[in-house]
Structure 1
Amino acid sequence: MSRSRVLSRRQIEGLIANNQSIVIFDNKVLRLDKWLERHPGGKLPIQHMVGRDATDEIKIYHSAETLPRMDSFRIGYIDGPWVNFEPPISGGIFRPYEGEANMRKCAKTITTTLCPSKTSALPGTDGTCNKKGAPPPCPDAKPPLSSVQDKLDVNQLVTGTLDKFPRSCTQVEFMDLAEQLEIDSDIGRFPSVDPATQRTIINRYRQLHQKVQDDGHYECRFWEYGKECIRYVSIFALSMTALKYEWYMTSAMLLGLFWHQIMFTAHDAGHLAITHNYIADTLIGIFIADFCCGLSIGWWKSSHNVHHLVPNHPAHDPDIQNVPLFANSPMFFQSLRSTYYNFDFAWDRACEIAIKFQKYTYYPVMGIARFNLYLLSWLHLISPRSSNKGTAAWTRPTEILFMACYWYLFGYRLLWLTIPTWTLRVAFVLVSHIITMPLHVQITLSHWGMSTADLGATESFAQKQLRTTMDVDCPAWLDFIHGGLQFQAVHHLFPRVPRHNLRRVQALVRDFCKDVGIEYTIFGFVDGNKVVLSRLGDIAKQVEIMVACQKHNVETGDMSI
């Protein structure tokens, strides 16, 4: 097959049906089969882009030096605008193509049951999108900046509508209605997902990205990290000084504050947002996360890369897959297959009880969430997922070494040899770890109160990020407390922009949202917490309604549930 030929939509569909990883980039057709296992970011990000125009995703996640290498995977071109397929990993169905002799190997159809989607915007045979949406906004109209009350009203409206639904409905009917209500709410509040409207948003987003580059916002202000390092070293030195004078709880609080602050820079390094060099930023991330904090940067990158591409999708985003402790979507009200963890999140009586109280357990669980990160870090490092190949092969043994050093220094030298009694040791661990709670609240704050609806494959990258992500409003002098995580919507649009530049980019994003009619969600820290707690409470209420439906069906003899 000539690498310069123009491939039709049907030919590309046939290649995907033959289990080939085909991605569109700048009108080029890329076949990434050989790169799938060697991709430093993992294979799942590629699998979520199969059949899609991933131009925006590829450009914002990769450096300018990396982009020319994409051409080595080119097998042809497309002619004209591309309408996305639903990827196989999301339930996409692809037909074999046998129109030419050199395409006859496309002999099977792929259909996955990992995440069957009733809401997919699968293109029709004419290349148009089947999903209907609200008409595009008037260009002169100002898009609403989401208010707290509006957000609370949306959540309560869905729950209130479900409460009026007949108790004779089955569990499947209940979940279908809950899912559709959220979809309808988003379709009514955001621009239409038809290809023409989304193409306009895509073009405007690309202009915005070019301006971000031209204005120098990708350039790291290293003196800002110099000031950060002074703060980190000062906090750590104070912690060790307090430890020397046997002020154990003071030392624990300062050590927890040190972990809380320094992990912001690990986050930047994980996105290659400091030096923009893979080896340099990976080493910075490993030193901070693994050596200083005992957490695997490899685990974080593995899950975080997927989270950024499919934010708030119940079946795909590992950051919201927290059953049985938490559920922020009615899609968890049945056993749900996670494409990240590759196992089923079972829904049972224990889940019903735990979710009922989730708005009350939210802060206590966030207080001890760091212990779970230790477990996830080691599970990742001993799993095949961490066995990188190619240029990233060195990362796994380096992480294991650095994490072993952390446990030697923290577990043996500090806890065992320095602190005299078991009571003080336990208290030291609890205090130091609970101090990091604001970091975990900040992480969940940006997404747990936002939509989990899937509007289909035609939704643009920019609209999906803004629809599922919340920013937190705060004065500039408090930026060091939030560590850049208060600009999550901006960060999701431009993940490699250094966090010290995000406040400047925020102004451009506001103008972009006004221009294309996309709602920009930003609340103060307190109001953002109210939105998250409201969402958790509404989901708990929905569980109670569903259980009432189940009891009704049992009492009336309808066992179809």
Structure 2
Amino acid sequence: MFTAHDAGHLAISSNFVVDTLIGMFVADFCCGLSIGWWKSSHNVHHLVTNQPEHDPDIQNVPLFATCPSFFKSLHSTYYNFTFVWDAVADFLVPYQRFTYYPVMGIARFNLYLLSWLHVLSEKSSSLGKSRAWWIRPTEITFMACYWFLFGYCLLWRGLPDWTTRVVFVLVSHIITMPLHIQITLSHWGMSTNDLGETESFAQRQLRTTMDVDCPAWLDFIHGGLQFQAVHHLFPRVPRHNLRKVQAMIREFCNDTGVPYSILNFTDGNKKVLGRLQDVSDQLDILVKCQKHMARTGESGLH
């Protein structure tokens, strides 16, 4: 999937058709995920990083809330859908620090759903009126091939019984958990405030994005995703140049005083878990206040 990410940003050949086909082969054919869905969502994420109303990457109610803005039933401009804060969110979010890793272990199943919803959507079908008309039918074909090979040939015909099939599916999907942690690590612990038009693009990206520090010999494990702050400033820089650009970003931040966030993988996880706990604590206070006012009849206004 690291290669699909590079292809989605045209960071391999810089040719739209070539990189799109590479992305389709890796994402759609090999993994059953729509590169078209990913590009649609990911491009918006790059434009409005960590803005609760706009960034689909942090719109995960009722499972997770990375800021209190979600408490007021926030409307998503990306999905054109209101994430209603209800009793389910009241029940799940207080435990989000503990459910974070288990959910990351099964997150792949949600990506399957989002991928099919995208390729069958009006947004995807509208490509038929453009020069990119070939993308949708190619994606559907590749994703269907994936499910034929994985679902029918391997699971149904290749494995002997349902117990083996279920265990194989769970193990093969849970093993992707480190990738999903890596994806969320760079943003979920960072600022979600909107500081308005006076904040520059570079300042906003560096405020909402964190790099993960690691030695150069470990770069292959992270697949370039450890340089998310650098990547958000220069999305089409090839992966093998990100470490070089990181040195330039450090120098820029030192010269300008713009904060640059970088933590190792362990401390980055602690930061995300700390943010999830902070939001849970704020929710707990609000719920206690609501119960107190309901019991006493107080309005909370003085």
Asked if residue 383 in structure 1 is aligned to residue 121 in structure 2, the reply is yes
TM-score by length of 2: 0.97
1:302 partner letter:
S
* Distance in 1 of aligned mates of 2:210 and 2:225: 10
For residue 288 of structure 1, what is the aligned residue in structure 2? 26
Displacement after TM superposition at 1:560 (Å): 8.0
The counterpart of 1:366, out of the listed 104, 114, 123, is 104
Secondary structure at 1:368 match in 2: helix
Report the Cα offset of residue 372 of structure 1. 0.4
- The CA distance in 1 between the partners of 2:163 and 2:290, in whole Å, is 47
* Alignment match, 1:59: none
State how far apart, in whole Å, the 1-side matches of 2:296 and 2:254 are.
53
Instruction: Name which of 36, 58, 73 aligns with 1:335.
Output: 73
**SS in structure 1 of the partner of residue 75 of structure 2:** strand
Residue aligning to 1:525: 265
Letter in 1 for 2:42: H
For the pair 1:430 / 2:167, whether they are aligned, the reply is no
Partner Cα separation in structure 1 for residue 124 and residue 90 of structure 2:
34
User: 1:305 aligned to 2:43?
Assistant: yes
Aligned to 1:407: 147
Specify which of 177, 181, 186 is matched with residue 441 of structure 1.
181
1:458 lines up with 2:198 in the alignment: yes
C-alpha distance in structure 2 between counterparts of 1:541 and 1:319, whole Å: 22
Q: 1:352 aligns with which of 87, 90, 99?
A: 90
- RMSD of aligned residue pairs (Cα, Å): 1.1
Letter in structure 2 aligned against 1:379: L
1:457 CA drift (Å): 1.9
Deviation per residue, 1:194-237 (Å, 9 max, x gap): xxxxxxxxxxxxxxxxxxxxxxxxxxxxxxxxxxxxxxxxxxxx
Cα distance in 2 between the residues matched to 1:458 and 1:285: 36
Q: Which amino acid aligns with 2:73?
A: S
Residue 292 of structure 1 aligns to a residue in which SS? helix
Normalising by structure 1, we get a TM-score of 0.53
1:396 aligns with 2:131: no
Output the amino acid matched with 2:201: F
In the alignment, which of 278, 283, 294 is matched to residue 543 of structure 1?
Answer: 283
1:138-153 correspondence runs (5 A): none
Distance in 2 between the 1:413 and 1:496 partners? Answer: 37
Match of 1:508 among 239, 244, 248: 248
1:498 and 2:248 equivalent? no
Distance 1:392 1:450 in 2: 36
The amino acid across from 1:474 in the alignment is: C
Whole-Å separation in 1 of the counterparts to 2:94 and 2:79: 25
* Equivalent residue letter for 1:477: W
Task: Tell me the equivalent position of 1:132.
Answer: none
Residue type of the alignment partner of 2:166? V
Question: One-letter code of the match for 2:274?
Answer: S
Whichever residue aligns with residue 114 of structure 2, its letter is L
In 1, Cα distance between the equivalents of 2:38 and 2:148? 22
CA apart distance, 1:393: 1.7
Amino acid at match of 1:278: F
- Once the two structures are TM-superposed, the CA of residue 391 in structure 1 deviates from its matched residue by 2.1
**1:237-252 matched pairs, under 5 angstroms:** none
Distance 2:292 2:165 in 1: 52
Q: What amino acid is aligned across from residue 511 of structure 1 in structure 2?
A: E
1:350 and 1:428 map into 2 onto residues whose CA distance is 30
Q: Which has the larger radius of gyration?
A: 1
**Which consecutive segments of 4 or more residues in structure 1 shift more than 2 A?**
558-561
Paired residue secondary structure (2:82)? strand
1:488 and 2:232 aligned: no
1: CA distance between counterparts of 2:91 and 2:197? 35
3-state SS, counterpart of residue 392 of structure 1: coil
Measure, in 1, the Cα distance between the counterparts of 2:89 and 2:130: 42
What SS is found at the alignment partner of 1:357? helix
**Partner residue of 2:274?**
534
Question: What is the CA distance between 1:326 and its match in structure 2?
Answer: 0.2
Q: Secondary structure at the residue paired with 1:344?
A: strand
Number of equivalences: 299
**For residues 398 and 378 of structure 1, what CA distance do their matches in structure 2 show?**
13
CA distance in 1, matches of 2:88, 2:31: 33
**What is the CA-CA distance between 1:507 and the residue it aligns to?**
0.2
Is structure 2 residue 31 aligned with structure 1 residue 269?
A: no
Equivalent in the alignment of 1:159: none
Q: Distance in 2 between matches of 1:382 and 1:541?
A: 39
Identity %: 74
Instruction: Please give the secondary structure, in 2, of the residue aligned with 1:447.
Output: coil
Q: Deviations over 1:401-460 (max 9, x none)?
A: 000000001111111111111111111100000000000000000000000000012211
Look up the equivalent residue of 1:340 and give its one-letter code: Y
The one-letter amino acid of 1:433's match is H
Distance in 2 between the 1:460 and 1:471 partners?
19
Find the counterpart in structure 2 of residue 260 from structure 1: none
User: Post-superposition shift, 1:555?
Assistant: 2.3
Counterpart position of 1:326: 64
What 5-or-longer segments of structure 2 have no aligned partner? none
- Aligned residue type for 1:357: Y
Partner of 1:553: 293
Question: Equivalent residue for 1:138?
Answer: none
1:495 Cα shift? 0.4
Counterpart-to-counterpart distance in 2, 1:504 and 1:527: 23
Q: Distance in 1 between matches of 2:131 and 2:237?
A: 23
> Structure 2 CA distance, aligned partners of 1:378 and 1:503?
35
Q: Secondary structure at the match of 1:507?
A: helix
